Structure 1
Amino acid sequence: MNRILSQTKGDRWIWLIVILLSVISALAVYSSTGTLAYKRGVGAESILIKHMAMIFGGIALMYVSHKLDYRYYSGISKVLMMVTIPLLLYTLLFGNHVNDASRWIAIPGTGLTFQTSDLAKLSLITFLARSLSRKQENIKDVKESFMPIMGSVCVVFILIALANLSTALMLFGVSVLLLIIGRISIKQIAVVCLAGAVLLAGVIFLGPRRKTYASRIQTFMHPSKVDRDKSFQSDHAKIAIATGGIFGKGPGNSTERNYLPHPYSDFIYATIIEEYGLIGGFSLVLIYLFLLYRCIKIVTKAPKAFGALLAAGLSFSLTIQAFANMAVAVGLGPVTGVPLPLVSMGGTSILFTSVAFGIILSVSRHIDEYEDNRKVVIGEIREKEVAA
């Protein structure tokens, strides 16, 4: 055990948060997949085993990602962007269609699907961190700095938004936050927001899923005026939360898991509250808030702009996604397909989330090494001063 701990570097609290969220995920997924297992004709244990394999695979990727010096991700980001944009185009044209949305592509020979927006989030955030850190000296130059940054944000946004508007909006929000941190002028940020608003209006009113978006907004704004079938998910999520009470029904005692279409992914937070009560739900909120706090500490301590921007972008992305999922579950937002990071059952989402955690830990590891080296140098200087 000591040998394993000695090999893991970076913020120990983030490692603990990852382990804690993984345990919560295993308990919640096992409890909420009974109906899914019945439909597939398998035992719930087999689904749990596959889910645990993804969790352990994610932890392995996180370990590898945190061992790699975060500065290497600057060069990797260019390759990721060159791969991401064609993949997003391919997904829109030839991807697997589920609920009138083309978000996944099949991985040949594995029977698994790959959601390209997960890769796009990681790619765009690392690319923006690289661009903003490298162009700090002429950051206000429109042609050299602003246009390439704006172009990358808008292209990725529109390619994701056509099939997955909620993810695109969250990624756009994170991008704007990075632009603010990266000292882009208010006028230029306003231009980016205006371009995003135009693209958003085009997707909502002219896009292939415009009827779906209109229906979800109408259901959220006026639930009493729509068919009960359209508000089925949100209604049963509210029932789960209301019947959970303060202390919950206990692990494995959820009843709404048998009615909710996706109690193990999109509405797993409602299942957790039903079984563990408001105490369990509030504890999960505190975990994500504490994660954000630890990441902000990393951002403020990072000696280089790239590391600070990288940690900020990835941490904002994870926490915004978490609170978006929880907001939908408790009825504070229209229904979306956003998973709860490291808790919802999923494949590529768990793996890419784990890589994001690994990159944050890589920045944290570099800070620790930087401070250790600084202490050694200061000690040597003091020794020389005493000797003199």
Structure 2
Amino acid sequence: MPAISRVDASRFARWWRNIDRVTLCCVLILIAFGYILMLAASPAVAVRIGASREMFILKQVVFLSLAGLVVTGVSMLSRQSIIRFAAIGGVLALLATVMTLVHGVEIKGARRWIALPLMSVQPSEFLKPFFAVVTAWLLARTRGRRVFGIVSLTGLGVAGLLFGVILVLLKSQPDIGMLSVITCVFMAQLFVVGLPLIFVGVGVGGMVGLFMLAFVMFPHVRSRVERFLHPNVGDHYQIDTALRAFGNGGLMGRGPGEGRVKDLLPDAHADFVFAVAGEEYGLLICGGIILVFLTIVVRTLFKLMREDDPFTIAAAAGLVTGFGLQAFVNMGSTLHLIPTKGMTLPFISYGGSSAISVALTMGMVLALTRHRVTSGTISRGFGNAEDWQSGARTRRTA
């Protein structure tokens, strides 16, 4: 790209000078991997279901192109615009999630999708980024008024109520995996805004209790956990096939188009796309994909260490936690490090809802971490830097 003059005051020039270009390049690399792996994995899946070989490819080209535009457009927004956008989008996503319980399409016993003319939409995918920003605003807005050593019950109470509503909705679908991700996002935000470790421990204990309850209440959760813990119990065809694919790929892979796992797994283009990468491109490329995800997460967290605005810290931490956790769940399931869970690999797996929601996530992360000349100035209504830094010092010495 040609150099942009330092005196160029256009909106694009200011955006390009201040954006985190390393993270932006990592996002573009993941989108490129998405194109490559969709070309490798989707034709066999399409033929197996009796569709055109190009069906998934053409759709994903549109989805990823839209995702690139969304990342760029959202990353240009101001912090106040991000808050307004998340509030409006969150309300719409919440209402759409409620609609899935009434008019949703049932697939494998779960109602998570709304059927549209050209695609199905999973509204809960959009709850993740919007929830992270809205709860960050609630928690940061009431900074400085503390009760029993924790964040003011006004902000914490409203955020907790919102989380409770989402918990009930996702449990009703059911979608335990999405609920787990959103719960981890909320716990991470509570931690970074100064919740004492004892309350974090209580939250983690609550998560364990909810997981045990899900294990008892939902047969599919119990089946997946038992198959993970006991290799001789149940059907292990998908995970065994995925692990063999990694073994067949070795260090350098069998070569583009030479893999066989895409002919054997029904979700090779979605939940098990990482196995396709392992077989055709080998350990080195898989390691490169993991490194790209790590770079995005770690770089964002390091940038937040130099940030003073509590809203920015809580929002970006929540967003990048959800992004990194989603990637870990997909790759960990494929490698049999955790029980299997149908969760997409960001920007790489097939899916319109996933691609756009992840694009919203990364667009908002880039917008919130843009360099600002007045980085020490706190957005109106979110407290002041001295209170935030004083609270941070108190937590470090506690």
Q: TM-score, normalised by structure 1?
A: 0.87
How many pairs align?
Answer: 364
In 1, distance between residues paired with 2:305 and 2:100? 38
**Counterpart in the other structure of 2:197:** 186
3-state SS, counterpart of residue 315 of structure 2: helix
Taking a change above 3 Å as real, the CA distance of residues 141 and 225 of structure 1, as seen in their structure-2 partners, is: closer
Matched, 1:144 2:148: no
Give the aligned residue type for 1:122: P
Q: Offset at 1:153?
A: 2.1
3-state SS, counterpart of residue 120 of structure 2: strand
In 2, distance between residues paired with 1:40 and 1:198? 40
User: Which one is further off, 51-60 or 32-41?
Assistant: 32-41
Aligned with residue 277 of structure 1, among 282, 285, 294: 282
Give the aligned residue type for 1:17: C
3-state SS, counterpart of residue 78 of structure 1: helix
User: Which one is further off, 40-49 or 245-254?
Assistant: 40-49
Q: Offset at 1:44?
A: 3.1
Work out whether residues 90 and 126 of structure 2, in 8 Å CA contact, stay in contact via their aligned partners in 1: no
**Counterpart in the other structure of 2:95:** 86
Give the aligned residue type for 2:301: I
Matched, 1:67 2:72: no
Give the aligned residue type for 1:131: L
Alpha-carbon displacement from aligned partner over 1:44-88 (angstroms, at most 9, x marks no partner):
334322211111111111111011102322234333443333322
Give the aligned residue type for 1:60: L
Matched, 1:370 2:378: no
More helix by share: 1
Work out whether residues 299 and 309 of structure 1, in 8 Å CA contact, stay in contact via their aligned partners in 2: no
Q: Offset at 1:144?
A: 2.1
In 2, distance between residues paired with 1:249 and 1:141? 54
**Counterpart in the other structure of 2:296:** 291
Q: Offset at 1:43?
A: 4.2
3-state SS, counterpart of residue 102 of structure 1: strand
3-state SS, counterpart of residue 327 of structure 2: helix
Q: RMSD between aligned alpha carbons?
A: 2.3
Matched, 1:130 2:137: yes
Work out whether residues 142 and 151 of structure 2, in 8 Å CA contact, stay in contact via their aligned partners in 1: no
In 2, distance between residues paired with 1:154 and 1:187? 21
**Counterpart in the other structure of 2:169:** 159
Give the aligned residue type for 1:151: L
Q: Offset at 1:276?
A: 1.0
Matched, 1:168 2:173: no
User: Which one is further off, 195-204 or 122-131?
Assistant: 195-204
3-state SS, counterpart of residue 104 of structure 1: strand
User: Which one is further off, 149-158 or 166-175?
Assistant: 149-158
3-state SS, counterpart of residue 357 of structure 1: helix
In 2, distance between residues paired with 1:283 and 1:232? 27
**Counterpart in the other structure of 2:60:** 51
Matched, 1:204 2:215: yes
User: Which one is further off, 288-297 or 341-350?
Assistant: 288-297
Give the aligned residue type for 1:266: D
**Counterpart in the other structure of 1:343:** 348
Work out whether residues 157 and 169 of structure 1, in 8 Å CA contact, stay in contact via their aligned partners in 2: no
Aligned with residue 228 of structure 2, among 220, 225, 250: 220
Q: Offset at 1:191?
A: 4.5
Aligned with residue 116 of structure 1, among 104, 114, 123: 123
In 1, distance between residues paired with 2:287 and 2:62? 28
In 2, distance between residues paired with 1:357 and 1:203? 30
Alpha-carbon displacement from aligned partner over 1:205-235 (angstroms, at most 9, x marks no partner):
23xxx11111111111112233xxx211101
3-state SS, counterpart of residue 258 of structure 1: helix
Taking a change above 3 Å as real, the CA distance of residues 99 and 42 of structure 1, as seen in their structure-2 partners, is: closer
Alpha-carbon displacement from aligned partner over 1:115-149 (angstroms, at most 9, x marks no partner):
11111111211111111111111242664233222
Q: Offset at 1:106?
A: 1.8
Structure 1 segments unaligned to the other structure (5+ residues): 374-388
In 1, distance between residues paired with 2:376 and 2:312? 17
Taking a change above 3 Å as real, the CA distance of residues 79 and 193 of structure 1, as seen in their structure-2 partners, is: farther
In 2, distance between residues paired with 1:304 and 1:142? 17
Work out whether residues 45 and 266 of structure 2, in 8 Å CA contact, stay in contact via their aligned partners in 1: no
Work out whether residues 105 and 112 of structure 2, in 8 Å CA contact, stay in contact via their aligned partners in 1: yes
Q: TM-score, normalised by structure 2?
A: 0.85
Q: Offset at 1:196?
A: 4.1
In 2, distance between residues paired with 1:195 and 1:294? 30
User: Which one is further off, 67-76 or 264-273?
Assistant: 67-76
**Counterpart in the other structure of 1:14:** 23
Work out whether residues 74 and 127 of structure 1, in 8 Å CA contact, stay in contact via their aligned partners in 2: yes
3-state SS, counterpart of residue 265 of structure 1: coil
Work out whether residues 154 and 196 of structure 1, in 8 Å CA contact, stay in contact via their aligned partners in 2: no
Taking a change above 3 Å as real, the CA distance of residues 372 and 164 of structure 1, as seen in their structure-2 partners, is: closer
Q: Offset at 1:332?
A: 0.7
**Counterpart in the other structure of 1:378:** none
**Counterpart in the other structure of 2:394:** none
3-state SS, counterpart of residue 252 of structure 2: coil
Structure 2 segments unaligned to the other structure (5+ residues): 5-11, 378-398
In 2, distance between residues paired with 1:236 and 1:50? 27
In 1, distance between residues paired with 2:373 and 2:128? 28
